[in-house]
Structure 1
């Protein structure tokens, strides 16, 4: 229920992550909710949210804009991070933000360590936790380390950046050393560093995740698995559901790792892959300080982590939680494409209720914007191909003349 004079829930960042936070909070009756992002984002199109537009998420400029927004929140604000950029900006300037907003973050140094993949893998190895052999490569002269890794390999960025995202996929599976070297050289030329690690064998549905909210009270966790990713194996979550059969093992492993590095408060999650060779779970990567897009699944299944985080920050009693694992969250567009790529149907566990990431009868705005943007992008690609074909034909015609 909505609490009188309650602080505003402020979601920093939009997209599917932000929308999952908005709908999780709305399910708990939290009002008001403000999404801080660029214009016409799917999260801010939700009927449950108000939109606040900022010029960017970098540095002191963003922090100044955020503090100006605080003037319209008479009862304060609780920050939820759905994007790494505002997360790192607020963390860096937390002394300026903390008097005006409530949020839970580890130290900035630890946050950066867990955001960068090479530092995370080093911490995990030092603690004896299950991670694949991994190397950070910063120059072409270091590519000889590839020869010491077992094929196939996984190639991915050390951290997200516009330079990487604009030219490359989230991650790659490569089968040969020659292919790996060529790909690494391209990434090095673009961003100056690249992560290379041994591929964890397993089927597309062997990826699991453990979402946690760590706080002064007992830690609250939710464990699920991906049905499909898009693109398969290396991409974003296309569909997922609860995995209570492995919750005990993964929740223990997740909390032990985070406590071992000194993380005791706020949102934290770990992605795992079950190794098809021996059935063991191995760390893929953590998310710290912000939510993952699967967080709405936790709310649908009765473990509303966003509500727990809000209550802790607002000084309210935590909600009563009861797991109902009979729900599926799916990105309806990408799940269909992933199934087509895999040559399968969009199958889900029996007797589960399916919730679409975008389309909801009671909240249609995000789906309408997603369809419009997808259609616009497709039209742009077609127009670009037509123009290129026309220009090529004109050039050949002039040469013939």
Structure 2
């Protein structure tokens, strides 16, 4: 799959250079798409990529993102409208809510369906969607404020629950709850993160979590990828740190059923967990952006950012076939994930022979990986010093 050669003017703008954003840059640059990037933190390893000029701005996760995008567009040549790629839910929410300010400045794959995208970004809307369309979703309760704790029945705590804020980047991602007292303490510790979605825990480890990524054009599937988690942080509840390519017709069908009524365009994905009886239960969707495990898709034959770029440029989108055999490791959040997979006898990759793909390492763009190693070494030294000081006290 290839894209037109760059003309010198940036054809794509990527916002955010965490490991995920860097993966988007590399996926596009590998097909000779000219890319520029916005970032607020120059210390991030991804900010040192040689594959895109990096524009440093004060804010990419708040209202300042809109002004940064307007000002960036003024600096770019006017003859080509760049495709905009966002890398977290806050960005999706801000841009989606204020798209009229950016319309005409950028192409945004989901601009015509942003109402549905924004609605399902709120985890509180999932139950209604799943109930309406007869989709498997764990029993749950919405906790808007502390006074509603008593509305959760006592027998709900007979099995573990999980709690997660309905809004992104709210202090914590998800917590496992075993008693009402634990839930009350969580509310007291994170009062500004309310409301919480509290739901029944589906038993099973990370390797019970599957996902399907799709690129849609008004509901039509242009590309897809199925995979499985092998590790996440926190375990079995958090963000993926190890993922593999696993085609699974059941997971794929569930994702189709979930997104079909919405007639969406752009990148979407769905995570679900399979219980001990073989039933899939929906965890959550991602809309308006690719997920953090994007690189496992690219490494196994499905270059989702390139497909999005070509679609937005009205260029032909060649068919792509998912391959298997490369496992992706998020060494940004879990530097020892490669070693842990080898030591974990309870979790086995689907294929006996596989190749690793690391979050920052790329021989054509080595500096981000070197910066990441320096950051890791510095962090380890600082932790060791703190522990030594505590021992001395």
| TM-score computed with the length of structure 2 as normaliser | 0.87
Change (3 A) 1:388 1:234: same
Matches within 5 A, 1:145-184: 145-149=152-156, 150-161=158-169, 164-165=170-171, 168=172, 170-184=173-187
Which residue is equivalent to 1:65? 68
2:207 counterpart SS class: coil
2:135 counterpart SS class: coil
Change (3 A) 1:336 1:328: closer
Which residue is equivalent to 2:279? 280
Whether the aligned pair in 1 keeps the contact of 2:227 and 2:243 (CA below 8 Å) is: yes
Matches within 5 A, 1:312-391: 312-332=311-331, 333-336=335-338, 339=341, 349-383=351-385
Matches within 5 A, 1:2-401: 2-5=4-7, 8-57=11-60, 61-74=64-77, 75-105=80-110, 107-144=113-150, 145-149=152-156, 150-161=158-169, 164-165=170-171, 168=172, 170-187=173-190, 189-216=191-218, 218-244=221-247, 246=248, 248-260=249-261, 262-276=262-276, 278-332=277-331, 333-336=335-338, 339=341, 349-383=351-385
Q: Which has the larger radius of gyration?
A: 1
1:40 counterpart SS class: coil
Aligned residues: CA RMSD: 2.6
* Separation in 2, partners of 1:202, 1:368: 36
2:72 counterpart SS class: helix
Q: Could you tell me how far 1:191 is from its partner in structure 2?
A: 2.4
* Separation in 1, partners of 2:209, 2:357: 20
Q: Could you tell me how far 1:100 is from its partner in structure 2?
A: 1.0
Change (3 A) 1:154 1:314: same
* Separation in 2, partners of 1:90, 1:312: 20
Mean CA deviation greater in 286-295 or 329-338:
329-338
* Separation in 2, partners of 1:160, 1:219: 28
Number of residues of Structure 1 aligned to a counterpart in Structure 2: 381
Q: Could you tell me how far 1:300 is from its partner in structure 2?
A: 1.5
* Separation in 1, partners of 2:339, 2:127: 32
- Runs of 5+ consecutive residues of structure 2 not aligned to the other structure: none
- Runs of 5+ consecutive residues of structure 1 not aligned to the other structure: 394-401
* Separation in 2, partners of 1:43, 1:319: 29
Deviations 1:345-382 (A, max 9, x none): 88672222221112233322222222222333344445
Q: Could you tell me how far 1:186 is from its partner in structure 2?
A: 2.7
